[in-house]
């Protein structure tokens, strides 16, 4: 396992220390030998917050209470027997029973705004803070019991909670309390194994030494004797919150609960999580409410992938899990490839798992909005859930050093607002991670206000980064197999499809042969690829002593009008713009030689056969699973392209270009393929002295600098012997104050933007320039031949 990201300290260390009391060893908790019904709260636990005011208590008694396992006496308002009688528990917990405190009038008869006038629910219980480290080290653990207290306090401060400590005046309609209760074993084992339940339960009877030892043997989790009790409440809180929302007893709700849940797996506690609160709640809702709550969307915006949630519903067609998280190629916690975009569910659940894996930290509002607009909302609308549960970790929030992202409270509000359009507004928010007290408080407040009806704040930044657009594009392409709303769709039978760039090159080759008798040059290859066929074409006189123009170009540009609905490109709505052909025509008409080099952006591996030949009988390189998978996906430019291009340029130079010492050589570079020429000039000592001129067209790709520390005259030579057309929209022209470096060659600002337009526009200038230099060179060569003098420099 990689170094655990979750154990890195968050900013919580910067917060003022607690007015802590004694750090003496705690006496064994009263329940140490309690063998009663696990569904009952341990007898020493105070009743829920209703009987007192959590905001009014002294600062969270992290040390004293947690270490001693005893609550401050003033919090116990009911006697032990009262607070824990089954009757009382049932009464307190039964939001749904006929005699519950939720009256029919509250739910029904709201003329005009039957849902809008319902209250938003809040679940919070001080007893969830009792789970803490049994022997805190000097570093405060990021999953700190104060996390939920700070969120609760923030809600009070905003006047949203009817609490003695709340700021006045209160909101016209305050949050409606939803009591947490202990989840039952029966409920928890809907998701977890009985052994796992028994294991967590067993920690309540362990010695401190045992607990500390246990912590060392597990992945990012700590225990004390109250861990089990807090975990039952956390899961029970999630259940009650989701039930209250699904039953429309509240408009929507937020559960400020801990310990979190989304990493907990069937048989494993990990990543600060013991029981997986949200999946348990989802299953309970499905079981209790049937068709009223069949389809559930779990949206997980915690910065970590919710491996436990994904596993719980991987085969389930009725639970759609969408997670936006930092993946870092499997290096970010919880690690591995499960959080990658190609994990889409299995069996009946295929397509009901959507991972949006950010390649790195540092993602912000524009990125999350982009993911929501392009993937989350279209898929969620198509899924049409009966209930939305947000696994709401706030560790992607700005200020959380553990997450390292920059999501603002306004963005959390916007995401909540968008999700509220689903499931008739039935949204239950359940806290997961988030370790900077200030960030989680502000974020949770923004989410809660939105749930209550306040419009989200405006966003400061809405543009996505390139990392985000690429990731989201890939996810769309992957999910297009399962969702009608996801376009563009990849080819259905990708294995036997031809890449269009290969088809076009074949067509170009035929055209260049028919018109100018250009034929392929033999290029030695270590592997066969369709993309290399016809890659280098040459006129018949390529070896004669005439001026030679070597053209390095990208595959020709396609122009098309995609179908407005399907985004599909159709053959009759596409055009191939091939201005290069006019350049070849002119070169041939002048009697010069030409070598035309096509640099594919992607090497098509082994797809030589276009019919379903059995792969075993195929004599070319074997298709790997990755090749097959890769075909039909969106693909970037091959990362090896610059190196491969330079190798090809070297090979051509040695075998086909440098034939005669005194021949005139010109290079024409179109698009990013030009990089091969540049590297040749830089890396081959004194090669530039053999070249008479270079023309290059740059639209979007970087303008290449030609400079070398060992060849001091190279830059000057380049400036004197080049013609570099750069599109007017290129970033090079943005810097008004500084003149571009001479290392970029003789620059011309083109009034066009695409390569094709530029090549058409500047054709006369290029032809004139090439002709002058070619003729000049021919004259000079003749003079030199007469004088028998050495080459000019």
In the shown chain, the binding pattern of residues 757 to 776 toward Zn ion, with x for contact by CB under 5 A and - for none, equals: --------------------
Active site residue 192: no
- Closest residue by Cα to residue 690 from 682, 681, 699, 698: 681
Q: How many residues does the chain have?
A: 793
* Closer residue to Zn ion, CB minimum distance, 434 or 671: 434
* Closer residue to Zn ion, CB minimum distance, 237 or 434: 434
Confirm if 341 and 356 have CB atoms less than 8 A apart.
yes
Shortest Å distance, C-beta 405 to Zn ion? 11
Confirm if 601 and 523 have CB atoms less than 8 A apart.
no
Residue 137 to residue 133: CA distance in whole angstroms: 9
Shortest Å distance, C-beta 394 to Zn ion? 9
- Pick the piece of the chain touching Zn ion (CB under 5 A) from 161-169, 182-190, 432-440, 588-596: 432-440
Applying CB under 5 A, what is the total number of residues that bind Zn ion? 5
Shortest Å distance, C-beta 306 to Zn ion? 8
- Pick the piece of the chain touching Zn ion (CB under 5 A) from 107-115, 231-239, 429-437, 542-550: 429-437
* Closer residue to Zn ion, CB minimum distance, 6 or 57: 6
If one asks whether residue 395 binds Zn ion (CB under 5 A), the answer comes out as: yes
- Closest residue by Cα to residue 310 from 318, 319, 386: 319
Shortest Å distance, C-beta 569 to Zn ion? 41
Backbone angles phi, psi at 254, to 5 degrees: -125, 135
Of 61, 145, 259, 393, the one binding Zn ion (CB under 5 A) is 393
* Closer residue to Zn ion, CB minimum distance, 330 or 642: 330
Shortest Å distance, C-beta 325 to Zn ion? 8
Shortest Å distance, C-beta 217 to Zn ion? 22
Q: Provide the terminal-to-terminal Cα distance of the chain, rounded to the nearest Å.
A: 60
- Pick the piece of the chain touching Zn ion (CB under 5 A) from 92-100, 187-195, 394-402, 602-610: 394-402
Shortest Å distance, C-beta 120 to Zn ion? 24
Shortest Å distance, C-beta 474 to Zn ion? 23
Shortest Å distance, C-beta 3 to Zn ion? 16
* DSSP tag of 397: B
If one asks whether residue 433 binds Zn ion (CB under 5 A), the answer comes out as: yes
Of 125, 133, 144, 302, the one binding Zn ion (CB under 5 A) is 302
What residues contact 547, with CB distance under 8 A and at least 6 apart? 590, 592, 593, 663, 664, 665, 666, 692, 774, 777, 778
* Closer residue to Zn ion, CB minimum distance, 302 or 557: 302
Which CA distances in Å does 554 have to 78, 421, 510, 539, 575?
79, 46, 18, 19, 16
- Pick the piece of the chain touching Zn ion (CB under 5 A) from 208-216, 302-310, 517-525, 779-787: 302-310
- Pick the piece of the chain touching Zn ion (CB under 5 A) from 243-251, 395-403, 449-457, 471-479: 395-403
* Closer residue to Zn ion, CB minimum distance, 316 or 395: 395
SS3 (DSSP) at 620: coil
Which DSSP string corresponds to 434-474? Answer: ---HHHHHHHHHHHHHHHHTPPPPPPS--PPPHHHHHHHHH
Confirm if 123 and 253 have CB atoms less than 8 A apart.
yes
What residues contact 246, with CB distance under 8 A and at least 6 apart? 285, 289, 292, 293, 386, 387, 426, 428
* Closer residue to Zn ion, CB minimum distance, 190 or 398: 398
Shortest Å distance, C-beta 433 to Zn ion? 3
- Residue holding tokens 């789970």? 131
Which DSSP string corresponds to 265-330? Answer: BTTB-BTTBSS-HHHHHHHHHHHHHGGGG--EEEEE-SSS--HHHHHHTTT-TTEEEEEEEE-GGG
Backbone angles phi, psi at 306, to 5 degrees: -85, 75
If one asks whether residue 179 binds Zn ion (CB under 5 A), the answer comes out as: no
* Closer residue to Zn ion, CB minimum distance, 228 or 332: 332
In the shown chain, the binding pattern of residues 324 to 363 toward Zn ion, with x for contact by CB under 5 A and - for none, equals: ----------------------------------------
- Residue holding tokens 């998978």? 629
* Closer residue to Zn ion, CB minimum distance, 385 or 393: 393
Of 153, 304, 474, 605, the one binding Zn ion (CB under 5 A) is 304
Confirm if 274 and 259 have CB atoms less than 8 A apart.
yes
Q: What is the chain's Cα-based Rg? A: 34
Give rounded-to-5 percent helix, strand, coil for the chain: 40, 10, 45
- Closest residue by Cα to residue 773 from 539, 544, 548: 548
SS3 (DSSP) at 347: helix
Identified catalytic residue from 263, 327, 343, 553 = 263
Q: Which residue is nearest to Zn ion (CB)?
A: 433
CA 353 to chain centre: 14
- Pick the piece of the chain touching Zn ion (CB under 5 A) from 189-197, 428-436, 444-452, 505-513: 428-436
- Pick the piece of the chain touching Zn ion (CB under 5 A) from 283-291, 295-303, 414-422, 468-476: 295-303
* Closer residue to Zn ion, CB minimum distance, 304 or 762: 304
Binding-site ranges for Zn ion (CB under 5 A): 302, 304, 393, 395, 433
| Catalytic machinery residues | 263
């Amino acid at each position: 396992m990689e170094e655990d990201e979750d154990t890195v300290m968050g900013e919580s260390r910067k917060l003022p220390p607690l007015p802590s009391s004694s750090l003496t060893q705690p006496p064994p908790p009263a329940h140490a030998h309690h063998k009663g019904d696990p569904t009952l709260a341990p007898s020493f636990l105070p009743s829920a917050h209703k009987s007192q005011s959590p905001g009014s208590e002294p600062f969270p008694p992290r040390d004293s209470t947690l270490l001693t396992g005893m609550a401050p006496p003033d919090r116990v308002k009911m006697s032990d027997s009262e607070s824990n009688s089954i009757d009382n528990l049932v009464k307190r917990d039964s939001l749904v029973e006929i005699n519950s405190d939720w009256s029919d009038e509250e739910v029904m008869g709201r003329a005009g705004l039957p849902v809008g006038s319902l209250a938003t629910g809040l679940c919070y219980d001080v007893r969830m803070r009792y789970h803490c480290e049994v022997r805190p080290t000097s570093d405060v653990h990021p999953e700190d019991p104060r996390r939920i207290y700070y969120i609760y306090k923030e809600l009070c401060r905003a006047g949203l909670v009817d609490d003695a400590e709340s700021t006045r005046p209160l909101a016209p309609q305050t949050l409606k309390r939803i009591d947490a209760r202990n989840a039952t074993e029966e409920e928890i084992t809907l998701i977890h194994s009985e052994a796992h339940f028994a294991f967590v339960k067993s920690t309540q009877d362990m010695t401190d030494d045992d607990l500390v030892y246990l912590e060392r043997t597990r992945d990012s989790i700590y225990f004390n004797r109250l861990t089990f009790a807090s975990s039952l409440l956390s899961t029970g809180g999630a259940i009650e919150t989701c039930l209250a929302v699904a039953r429309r007893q509240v408009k929507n709700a937020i559960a400020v609960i801990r310990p979190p849940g989304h990493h907990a797996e069937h048989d494993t506690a990990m990543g600060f999580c013991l029981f997986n609160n949200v999946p348990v709640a989802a299953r309970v809702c499905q079981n209790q409410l049937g068709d009223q709550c069949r389809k559930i969307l779990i949206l997980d915006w915690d910065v970590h992938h919710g491996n436990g949630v994904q596993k719980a519903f991987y085969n389930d067609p009725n639970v759609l899990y969408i997670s936006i998280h930092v993946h870092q190629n499997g290096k970010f916690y919880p690690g591995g490839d499960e959080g990658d975009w190609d994990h889409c569910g299995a069996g009946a659940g295929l397509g009901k798992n959507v991972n949006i894996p950010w390649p790195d930290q540092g993602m912000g509002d524009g990125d999350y909005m982009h993911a929501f607009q392009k993937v989350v909302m279209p898929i969620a609308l198509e899924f049409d859930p009966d209930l939305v549960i947000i696994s709401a970790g706030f560790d992607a929030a700005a200020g959380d050093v553990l997450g390292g992202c920059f999501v603002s409270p306004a963005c959390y509000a916007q995401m909540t607002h968008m999700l509220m359009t689903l499931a008739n507004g039935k949204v239950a928010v359940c806290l997961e991670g988030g370790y900077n007290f200030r960030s989680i408080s502000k974020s949770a407040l923004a989410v809660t206000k939105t749930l209550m009806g306040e419009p989200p704040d405006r966003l400061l930044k809405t543009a996505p980064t390139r990392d985000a657009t690429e990731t989201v594009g890939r996810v769309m392409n992957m999910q297009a197999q399962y969702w009608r709303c996801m376009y563009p769709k990849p080819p259905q039978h990708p294995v036997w499809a031809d890449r269009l760039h290969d088809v076009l090159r074949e067509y170009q080759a035929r055209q260049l042969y028919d018109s100018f008798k250009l034929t392929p040059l033999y290029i030695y290859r270590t592997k066969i690829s369709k993309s290399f066929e016809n890659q280098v074409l040459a006129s018949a006189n390529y070896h004669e002593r005439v001026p030679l123009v070597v053209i390095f170009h990208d595959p020709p540009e396609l122009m098309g009008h995609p179908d407005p609905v399907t985004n599909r490109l159709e053959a009759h709505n596409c055009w191939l713009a091939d201005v290069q052909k006019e350049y070849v025509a002119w070169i041939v008409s002048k009697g010069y030689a030409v070598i035309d080099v096509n640099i594919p952006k992607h090497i098509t591996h082994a797809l030589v056969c276009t019919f379903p030949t059995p792969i075993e009988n195929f004599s070319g390189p074997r298709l790997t699973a990755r090749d097959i998978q890769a075909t039909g996906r969106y693909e970037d430019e091959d990362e090896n392209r610059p190196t491969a291009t330079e190798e090809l340029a070297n090979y051509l130079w040695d075998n086909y270009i440098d034939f005669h010492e005194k021949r005139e050589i010109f290079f024409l570079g179109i698009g990013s393929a030009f990089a091969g020429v540049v590297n040749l000039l830089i890396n081959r000592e004194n090669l530039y002295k053999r070249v008479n001129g270079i023309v290059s067209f740059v639209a979007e790709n970087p303008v290449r600098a030609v400079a070398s520390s060992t060849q001091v005259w190279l830059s000057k030579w380049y400036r004197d012997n080049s013609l570099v057309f750069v599109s007017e929209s290129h970033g090079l022209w943005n810097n008004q104050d500084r003149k571009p470096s001479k290392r970029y060659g003789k620059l011309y600002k083109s009034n066009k933007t695409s390569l094709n337009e530029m090549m058409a526009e500047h054709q006369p200038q290029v032809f004139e320039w090439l002709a002058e230099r070619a003729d000049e060179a021919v004259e000079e060569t003749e003079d030199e031949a007469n004088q028998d003098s050495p080459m000019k420099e």
